[in-house]
Amino acid sequence: MFSPSQHEGGPATATRSRRRQRPLSSDNLVQAPKAKRRRLPLTEQTFQNPDANAAPAAPETYEVKADKAAHLDARQDGFGFESNPLPKKELSVRAKKPKAADRATKGDGSVILTTNNAYTVSKLPALPDRIRVDATGQQHGDIFSSGYALSLNHTHAIVWPYTTPTQSPETFTFTLPYPSKHATEPLPLGSLVSPSASSTEPGLVVVMPVSGRITYWESISSAATLDFIRQQRHGVEGSIPGMSSGERVIQITNAESAGFVLAFTSGRLAYMSVRDTHGRPLVSVQFLRTSLASSTGGIFGSIRHAFTQPQGRGDIAAVRAERHMQPGERNIVAATLKGKLHAWKIHRGGNHDTVAEADIREDVINAIREVDPLSEDYHQDTFEVLDFAYVPRDMEEKYQDLSRLSNALASKDRDLQHLLLLLRLPDLVYISQGQLLSHF
């Protein structure tokens, strides 16, 4: 009997796998996890400033390097320092050249053309492809507070949402049933109509200036279906009764919810409605009682009046509707070129009352001559009214001071209305304002 050596394994030693040898170097040793910090107990030295008893630290020093090499003068003993500066290289950096045509853009895709404290003029991206392709064609149009724009040419009417950020917005194209016969005729006149009870989209009314034909579409979405348009034509077409030979429509004024006002080259005005008293589509026109038309009698007077009128414009300078009124009625003011004003209160259905009449030519000319002595060289017959606008009621005092209008705007009388007029003398243009109408 003998016992195995302590340095030799048993019989199973040869069958067991050898242990992985430990690395000779300590580089690959796995670092043991750091011991957790123990929270020290609070003592008297815990809240003492450790820097209070410490010795003052030496002042810190900073190394400052000059951008350029220092220039050393020669010593008095005749010895100097020769510096060997590094060769310089000029690097040309080409920056982006700003374009003169670049303008500020907004998030909605519009381009700001100009801006001030009161207004911002922007170029909107939404434009129908048909207008963009034929930009040089004869056409005109208008924009409306509903967010839609209207463009008219001799054969078609185009409506689109101009506030859409896309460049090719949804477009509604209407083929006019009575297009212009000649390219020399004035372009059709049109306006959007407030939505009816059965639609959320505005309607469209178009007036042919020469023939007096009127077409009304109850909704702009009806342009998408030709059959629907044909069905809607029955009862929504009309004409202007009593138009004289050579008389033309020169302006259409939206006076909703009362209706529309048409101005003619003869100086006459007419009320137009596109719905009956029950809200159903129906076109009707009646002339207003007015003294704005020429009162010169006789054949020779008519001929003289025809030759003195500006071609295609007539004696009417502008027709405007006051904004704030009760539902179903609006105040309308018309101004002639020679400074005569006429005001009506129009009710839904065509009933109208004359509110005021005034001839302001002499008063305005005298006011202009007080501030501009050069205007005395011109005869008063050369005076013309170009346009006018309503001055908003209840204007804040700061805006009254900025506008430099008269103190009459501070009046709280609701029967007073202020107008701002654009006037012209030969080579001169003026802006005049005042308390012109009363008893509204």
How many CA atoms within 13 Å lie on the side-chain side of 66?
4
Question: Are residues 433 and 406 in contact, defined by beta-carbon separation less than 8 angstroms?
Answer: yes
For 196, list phi and psi in degrees, rounded to 5. -80, 180
Question: Are residues 334 and 269 in contact, defined by beta-carbon separation less than 8 angstroms?
Answer: yes
CA distance 310 to 307: 8
pLDDT digit string, tens, across residues 37-95: 666 565 555 555 555 555 555 444 444 454 444 444 444 444 444 445 555 555 555 55
pLDDT at 75: 46
Three-class DSSP category at 171:
coil
Instruction: State whether the Cα torsion 67-73-75-78 is positive or negative.
Output: positive
pLDDT at 61: 45
Whole-number average pLDDT of the chain:
74
CA distance 313 to 315: 7
Alpha-carbon separation of residue 146 from 74, 143, 223, 236 (angstroms): 84, 8, 18, 22
CA distance 85 to 185: 83
Q: Residues of the chain whose pLDDT is less than 50?
A: 1-3, 5-8, 14, 58-64, 66-83, 98, 227, 231-232, 234-235, 294-312, 436-440
Alpha-carbon separation of residue 127 from 97, 156, 395, 413 (angstroms): 30, 16, 35, 44
Cα radius of gyration rounded to whole Å, the chain: 43
CA distance 210 to 352: 26
Lateral strand order in the sheet of 281-287: 249-255, 259-264, 269-275, 281-287
For 186, list phi and psi in degrees, rounded to 5. -65, 150
pLDDT at 74: 46
Closest of 281, 277, 123, 265 to residue 214, by C-alpha: 281
Q: Give the residue carrying structure tokens 């000779």.
A: 24
